[in-house]
Chain A
């Protein structure tokens, strides 16, 4: 018993301790401040003490009041063994209407029981100036009015001096400003641009200046760019600028609706981490009627090339002496305010004595706000005329402030040019129409007589007879050359020529012999046969053909049987006056041919013998 009681007592004590350590849940709300102007916000906090972790407050819907979750926190404390946990849910309260509002008790479900807070009162008064405004409201679409309040763009001429119009080519400084309401999260901000084709925007500052401004009670963050606006086309236009930006906006509007039993439909999930999404917007400034006009024609100097602004001219490095044709480099600068794209190379005076070429340019920009710049020209030039003269640069521009043309010059500089006049290529283009004037001294001389006439076509060398004549001459020359060459060759190789000549002669004779064969004249036949043989033997051995006899043949050509036979026969016919039949003569003709071959190609040792035999005969004689 004693033991049983002791155990019971211990249990009771522990239970008491436990219960004393964990207090019951409670819900309380706070509102700061309790009175707000219409364009301000109040902070509403729900504190859940000792509630379950997943206990979330349930807010009642109140007309004209909006509760925007602004975060939550938790706290656990243990004091003297007492553990206390507090989960706090914060909301920003905005009102759309003045008045007094009763915020009812907030209920919380925890541990199967419902707990309620106290109710509070909120008083919304008229809006005050310089009061802060609530941030961008949630929503998938923003109305134009909302956007205007949220962000807008302006463009203003920084210095128009009361003149609304612009001149073509004139540059005017402009300030472009973007106003974004405080509280807006901007993740990207592009540079502004001009949408009209009649204007150009240049020299825009890289980074905008940032400031804050309050307009009609609304605080804005302001981004300012400075740039140069130029009108490039005459006419009446609506000047607008555009700017693209990316804003981060909360992705869902918090609802005060009753939660369902779906465990996932729990505001804990969408209020604990506030979700933001990117929204791309394009801001366009209000249209501004702007007129662009062309500088007047009246009073426009010839050297005007389109520069509009206010400029000064400065030259440096002009030489004191030069020679004609000598290239030199001259430097001149134009500085001031205006559109330097239209600032061309100044004219070098006197222009007739100088030939200038394409200049190298260099632009130095000054203060970005002031649009002051300087354009430097490096001008290659050649003096073409000798003499001593004053040289200077001249530049014309249109001043939009005084609305008149101005021509400015550098200081005159004396230059001495020596040498002869240099003729440069005359310009192909004449700037102006020049009337034809006839200098009496330069009148042409006319001819009194008609002179020689030529046929219109063709040229002498194209005429057929001329071509024929030249061809004939060339052939004659070639013929002479060929003949001379042949003669020379003959002189250098007489044996070859005589052989060829003998061969031709032999052929001719054989032809005659054949003819005589047909005629049946044996005497003539054999005479000619003998003559042919004599000529051949004379060719081979030298000497006179007519002096060769049968004995000579027997001595010199003992093996040429056929030749000997023909020679013998020829002698017989000659001396005995014998007759032969035609058939016999045909046979003898064939033998003649064989005899000729025998003589033409005798064996080598026979030839030597013949030559030595002749030598012996000659020596014996």
Chain B
């Protein structure tokens, strides 16, 4: 085998392995039998309306440093049954993050918001709709596959196995660069949107003008409300946050929990 063919074959193998790794990583791993057993026990408690026990079991799984869309979904459902609106919405949001396309989870979240009257602005701009088409993980996968394809094509061309026209080369290069740029932007936007988002958990949470107990109140927030945490702005037990209306203020850190899983 001449060196060129050798290099081409090697490159092909590397590309295939890389594709495999990326795809498998984006789809998560299979649970262990113990994890499946705990999940089933939790579901059993749920069916028997023992919601507190169900919550305990679901939390046991999460404490193993794993995340699963179904775990968060069922945990959220249990909270909802117990009337804990804030935690219910929080875990539905976490579930959506992990499985962007699950319609059951999306419907559950919408119902929870309906019940708590904490509507969010669902009217997305066209750009936001494009970004929301895939989850951030899938955008990364798309970009990676495009890059791998481009690499493989260049190597084959370099080896002389393919001789694409100039037009095709330019088009392919532009398409790949465009897709990578779009993916980077989409991921960045999604991460920015999610990174500092948190859910209000406690009823009648006071948003105050300054981080003190006796500071004037700006507004009272109800569970399920999404707020943005202003990073690095903490004072004692208070955190500075911003509402979607643009108003900012301070509230107790223990009254909110970030949505972002990782």
Contact residues, A555-596 vs B (CB, 8 A): none
Q: Which residues of B contact A429 (CB under 8 A)?
A: 219-220, 222
Q: Which of B26, B43, B111, B261 is the one whose CB lies under 8 Å from A460?
A: B26
Contact A456 B262 (CB under 8 A): yes
Interface assignment of B147: CB less than 8 Å from any CB of chain A: yes
Tell me if B80 and A444 are in contact (CB < 8 A): yes
Contacts of A473 in B (CB 8 A): 18, 147-148, 151
Binds B, one of A87-95, A400-408, A476-484: A476-484
B29-37, B229-237, B250-258: which lies at the interface: B29-37
> Among the listed A445, A457, A476, which residue makes an inter-chain contact with B154, where contact means beta carbons less than 8 Å apart?
A476
A438-B81, A445-B108, A463-B25 known; A451 and B69 CB under 8 Å?
Answer: yes
User: Cβ of A451 and Cβ of B140 under 8 Å apart?
Assistant: no
The answer on a CB contact under 8 Å between B66 and A447 is: no
* B21-59 near A? 1/0 per residue, CB < 8 Å: 110011111110001100100010010000000000000
Q: Of B70-78, B126-134, B208-216, which stretch is located at the interface?
A: B70-78
Contact B114 A454 (CB under 8 A): no
Q: How far is the CA of A442 from the CA of B70 in the complex (A)?
A: 18
Distance in Å: Cβ of B163 to nearest Cβ of chain A: 12
User: A445: nearest residue on chain B (CB-CB)?
Assistant: B104
Q: Is the interface of A mostly helix, strand, loop or mixed?
A: loop
Q: Is the CB of B28 within 8 A of A453?
A: yes
Name the residue in A426, A427, A450, A454 with the highest tally of chain B Cβ atoms < 10 Å from its Cβ: A450
The answer to whether A450 and B222 have CB atoms under 8 Å apart is no
In the complex the two chains form, is B104's CB within 8 Å of A447's CB?
A: yes
Please tell me if the beta carbons of A481 and B154 are within 8 angstroms of each other in the complex.
yes
Q: Is B144 an interface residue (CB 8 A)?
A: yes
Q: When the two chains form their complex, are residues A470 and B147 in contact, meaning their CB atoms are under 8 A apart?
A: yes
Q: What is the distance, in angstroms, from B220's C-beta to the closest C-beta of chain A? A: 5
**A494 interfacial contact with B, CB 8 Å:** no
Number of B residues, CB within 8 Å of A: 67
Does residue A446 face the partner (Cβ distance < 8 Å to B)? yes
Q: Given A460-B141, A470-B144, does the pair A444, B154 have CB atoms closer than 8 Å?
A: no
Give how many A residues have a beta carbon under 8 Å from the other chain's beta carbons. 44
C-alpha spacing A443/B112, complex, angstroms:
9
Task: State whether the Cβ of B182 lies closer than 8 Å to any Cβ in chain A.
Answer: no
B9 contacts the other chain (CB 8 A): no
Binding site for A on B (CB under 8 A): 11, 18, 21-22, 25-31, 35-36, 39, 43, 46, 61, 65-71, 73-74, 76-77, 80-81, 83, 85, 92, 98-99, 104, 107-108, 111-112, 114-115, 117-119, 136-137, 140-141, 144, 147-148, 150-151, 154-155, 157-158, 187, 219-222, 225, 245, 261-262
Q: Which residues of A contact B (CB under 8 A)?
A: 423, 425-430, 436, 438-439, 442-463, 465-466, 469-470, 473-474, 476-477, 480-481, 483-484
* 13 extra interface residue pairs, beta carbon distance < 8 Å, beyond A438-B83, A456-B261: A429-B219, A436-B83, A438-B81, A442-B115, A445-B104, A450-B61, A451-B70, A451-B71, A452-B30, A453-B28, A454-B28, A470-B147, A476-B11
